[in-house]
Chains A and B, each alone.
Chain A
Amino acid sequence: MKTLNLFRAALTAIVRNKMRSFLTMLGIIIGVASVVALVSLGAGAQSDIESQINSMGTNMVIIMPGSSDFGGIRGGRGTVKTLKLKDVDYLREEASNLTHVSAMIRLQEQVVAGNTNWNTSVSGVDPEYLSIRNWEVSAGRGFDRREVAARAKVAVLGQTVVEELFGNADPQGSRIRIRTVPFTVIGVLSSKGQNAMGQDEDDLILVPSTTALYRLSDGESIDAIMASSVSEEAIAEAEDEIGEILRVSHRLADGEDDDFSIRNQSELVSMATSVTGTLTILLAAVAGVSLLVGGIGIMNIMLVSVTERTREIGIRMALGARGIDILFQFLVEATVLSLLGGILGLLGGLGGAYLLGSAMDTSVLPNIFFMVAAVFFTSLVGIFFGFYPARKAANLNPIEALRYE
């Protein structure tokens, strides 16, 4: 029998028993739908995390005091004081793979403006810091090198701080007090929302690194150095270069461990990705089980169908159908049934994903390759579970099939 006729016969048989066909497909539909929905949502969430991490600056490299060696006894946060302002200068002068370098002094302070106050994080940084983070000033200006050199008491506020201290008023030119030190507000950062860890990126104040170090901190060590490499590809090279420069600067002998550690964004990205990877394996297992259950449902219904249609099989054989014709007829029917279930599941899954995605305000990222694979796999399920009933039909004896009541 020609292929076209086979598919027509299969569709006729499926449409004839609409309700039964639908119920038979339901297992496959639910399996494929849930997996497609979850994978699309998972990929969407992952890309959200990645883009958030990347928005912090793709080429960003962070240098922290203390060794990256996790063995041995290490002090708590802030007890290792190996990074100095001169390290920042060395890196600026000597690292050919870095475009911007900024010191970073991290403080958590009570800030007062007029009769309101707010506890926020105060970062002492250099002018390059805005470029490293891809941040922008939405009103006023950032501080410049001269102000850093002069330990100027100027501040740039994040949006949340502005709201807390000034409400709707324009803070430019206003004076605020950080601890006992008065500062003049010279600019406001544009809003950035939450970061990948759910922290408010607008709840901060930037002040010149020197001002923070000498007027608010111990005047000796800085908490981190932020830098950006010339390109994403150059990050590894940049890290090597940073390592060499800092080892010289810190006078570390050969064989001595680094007293600093270097992190980059791609490490954060791969950390987030590994979580989603585990999730994907779990989903694949769910998909496998539901397709198995769906396949058994198809086999069951096909067996019923073969019994019900014994006479039809007898007639077809009497008219010259070979065993292989009957085999293909039922195989195609089982395959079309599960394929149809797969396609319906795919559409349902996509619909569900976009619905959930818009409800939870996350991206939905359908994976074409995955969807093609899912549909291909459901047709394999149909062939696999349809084979036994189809072979049973093909092996019928024509005259006995004709006599079957």
Chain B
Amino acid sequence: METIVLRNVSKIYQTGENRVMALSGVDLTVSKGEILSVMGASGSGKSTMLNILGCLDAVTSGEYVLDGHRVSDLAPNELADIRNRKIGFVFQGFNLLPRTSALENVELPLLYDRSHRIKDPRKEAAAALERVDLGSRLDHIPSQLSGGQQQRVAIARALVTRPAIILADEPTGNLDSRTSLEIMGLFQDLNREGVTILMVTHEPDIASFTERIIEMRDGMVIGDHRVLDRGDAARDLARVSSGSPPGSFPETVETEAHTR
């Protein structure tokens, strides 16, 4: 059953005289429980698409249907609640609150949860940080953390609300290969628990841990591949620990033609 449907979506940025067509006629369907990566050169529109999927930005034309609702029909408060409960977003630049502890950063989305599903936000936030291996850094503020650690705080913040969908913009961009494997292991775990995961990445290695790769160029989806030999991050992590090199570029197969 599809959770995300983009139909002929375009996004135009108008800055003064300049018109930038960041997305042009994108079609995309993501089923519940899928884990997929979006690849493509810098400036190809990956972040733009992710922002739209995350209900942060609106389409210029076309439609975005999320779990049967046209997002453009939803009121700002409904969008806020979707961002809060349904979607966990990992930003490319982390976007942590400065001068605020890791724990408080991760707790933040729970404080905006009107349903109060989670009884003890503090405890839940600590557990999420534990899950990304930062249990010993709860009181550190972002400037006291390395890039990789900040990245993991951002990931903890995205999963603390137990969202149905996680959208991650280059979540392993700042991580060494070992930590990257840990994060991918975490994503694969979450995916096995039923979470739909869509992530942007530059690294074929990382993409090989997902089941599907969307390829983008110039604001268009030019390829949609199914990963044939999907890696197991936990297994690779064990292998890295014992000294063997990780796998090479993933073998894929073209599933649909994208020649717009």
Contacts and interface: CB of A to CB of B under 8 A. Distances in A.
B95 A322 contact: no
Interface in B156-205: 157, 161
Nearest to B58: A399
B74 to A, nearest CB: 13
Nearest to B56: A399
B99 A315 contact: no
B51 A319 contact: no
Given A16-B99, A399-B51, A402-B95, A316 B57 contact: no
B89 interface: yes
A323 B77 contact: yes
A321 interface: yes
A319 B56 contact: no
B83 A320 contact: yes
B223 interface: no
Interface in B93-121: 95-99, 108-109, 111-113
A2 B112 CA distance: 8
Q: Which of A2, A319, A323 has the most CB atoms of chain B within a 10 A radius of its CB?
A: A319
Interface size class of A (residues with CB under 8 A): 20 to 34
Given A312-B97, A399-B56, A399-B57, A319 B76 contact: no
Interface in A296-328: 311-312, 314-325
A199 interface: no
A398 interface: yes
Nearest to B116: A2
Given A16-B99, A399-B56, A402-B95, A319 B157 contact: yes
B112 A320 contact: yes
A312 B96 CA distance: 8
Contacts of B56: 318, 398-399, 402
B113 A320 contact: yes
Most chain A Cβ neighbours within 10 Å, of B80, B89, B161? B80
Given A5-B111, A325-B112, A317 B57 contact: no
Interface residues of B, number: 25
Contact of B95 (A16, A318, A323): A318
Interface string A1-29: 11001000000000010000000000000
Interface in B41-97: 51, 54, 56-57, 76-77, 80-81, 83-85, 89, 91, 95-97
B108 to A, nearest CB: 6
Interface string A77-94: 000000000000000000
A5 B83 CA distance: 20
B111 to A, nearest CB: 5
Nearest to B82: A320
26 contacts: A1-B111, A1-B112, A5-B111, A312-B97, A314-B95, A315-B96, A315-B108, A317-B80, A318-B54, A319-B83, A319-B84, A319-B89, A319-B112, A320-B80, A320-B109, A320-B113, A320-B161, A321-B80, A321-B84, A321-B112, A322-B76, A323-B80, A398-B83, A399-B56, A402-B56, A402-B91
A-B pairs with the 6 shortest C-beta distances?
Answer: A320-B84, A319-B109, A320-B112, A322-B80, A399-B57, A399-B56
Contacts of A317: 80, 83
B97 A322 contact: no
A319 to B, nearest CB: 4
A311 B83 CA distance: 17
A402 B84 CA distance: 16
Given A1-B112, A315-B108, 5 more contacts: A318-B83, A318-B89, A320-B83, A322-B76, A325-B112
B154 to A, nearest CB: 10
B164 to A, nearest CB: 14
Nearest to A6: B111
A318 B112 CA distance: 11
A316 B112 contact: yes
